[in-house]
Chains A and B, each alone.
Chain A
């Protein structure tokens, strides 16, 4: 379960192996040239490389507290007040109480001219409460939540929302993360950014891509007929993760949705969903 350390060591071994892989790769290249007529069983399989961008709208508000969390906050508040010293406001309250008592006992009459004009602590508290009542914070459940508008990001504010695009393939409408094919001369991250640019107006929306390394991979093997036709063993889709930093302006012709985790299970294909869910953050 706690294979954190072993994975760290594993990544180190990958770095070490990269140099040996280079040599292996060169050897196979040489062997290919030498035996061009022979079968391609010794050569490494060729994969079509694609890069997909997983754009997420991170939560804007906190999730509601569970029962145990509420109880704990109450306890902590009580302990903190018990261990603290009195504030100026509380000292004023004590003074006011004393004055009141004196007046009721009759020891001190209201000969103090300032007493009438003095703002008691109670007045101050009432004024503060009034001001608080006037302020209305925004509601946690938005209009889009109630209407179920899947195209807007102003929905499910305490959850993550994933950007999904519809792809029309042979009369089949498939929901996918925006992806595009890798071109020569660019890194996979750049491919992913290009894929996103086709769906979202990039200079208007600010997006933060989290690193140069892919977060996940999905292998789709072609059937043998397609394999021979295209020359590729299959497709390898590398996923890159990004965070939405501003409001999203999508291009007009993209059919898109912003889905929460439960809605993903409805829309995405199961194999695809499995690869994607591996690198997404858990939610209750």
Chain B
């Protein structure tokens, strides 16, 4: 209990009155807190108004987030895109010394020229071969059409099992019999969830 008011009572019982108080005549003692304004009563706010305030704050924050996200969606123009600093450093570190060899250039040019003609001849031969195979097939289909229409229609049906066609190409050495394929090195990176 806040007893800021202290009252000293002196019982006047005897003729001799011994008091030490100095607060004549009321004998009231005042302490400093009393000099302040008494506390204002806490007003209960309308819960709806409080909610409305919070919502407004939320909306403001969400708006600003949206604005920032818009920037992320916009693609950077190509001229501004650059390697990350890590990659730039790596690129510097991994540069090779350039070797200028004038003498090899002529040799290289000669080989490239012969390669060009070689590949062209190869291509011509392939085209010839394709033409030959194609003409053989079309001749066969022509003759079949003359013989029997049913068989011809059966022959020009699309073979659904054949397409999509996939073939394993030739390797430089044949496969080894009874070769045990070893597991490669691997690091288990499964995340440990606690």
Q: Chain A interface (Cβ within 8 Å of chain B)? A: 1-4, 7, 10-11, 14-15, 17-18, 21-22, 25, 44, 47, 49, 58-62, 66, 68, 71-72, 75, 82, 84-87, 90-91, 137-140, 142, 157-158, 187-189, 208-217, 219, 236, 238-239, 243, 275, 278-279, 281-282
Contact = CB atoms under 8 A, between A and B. Distances in A.
Given A61-B170, A188-B151, A215-B136, A3 B131 contact: yes
Interface of B: 91, 93-96, 98-99, 108, 111-112, 114-115, 118, 125-147, 149, 151-159, 162, 167, 170-177
Contacts of A87: 94
Given A1-B131, A68-B118, A217-B143, 14 more contacts: A1-B127, A2-B127, A4-B130, A21-B145, A66-B118, A68-B115, A87-B94, A138-B177, A140-B173, A187-B154, A212-B156, A215-B136, A238-B140, A282-B129
Nearest to A141: B174
18 contacts: A7-B138, A14-B142, A14-B145, A62-B170, A84-B96, A85-B94, A85-B95, A85-B96, A86-B96, A87-B94, A137-B176, A138-B173, A138-B176, A208-B162, A212-B158, A213-B137, A239-B140, A279-B136
B129 A238 contact: no
A279 to B, nearest CB: 4
Contacts of B111: 68, 71-72, 75
Contacts, number: 160
- Which 6 pairs, one residue from A and one from B, show the smallest C-beta to C-beta distance? A278-B136, A217-B140, A187-B154, A85-B94, A137-B173, A86-B94
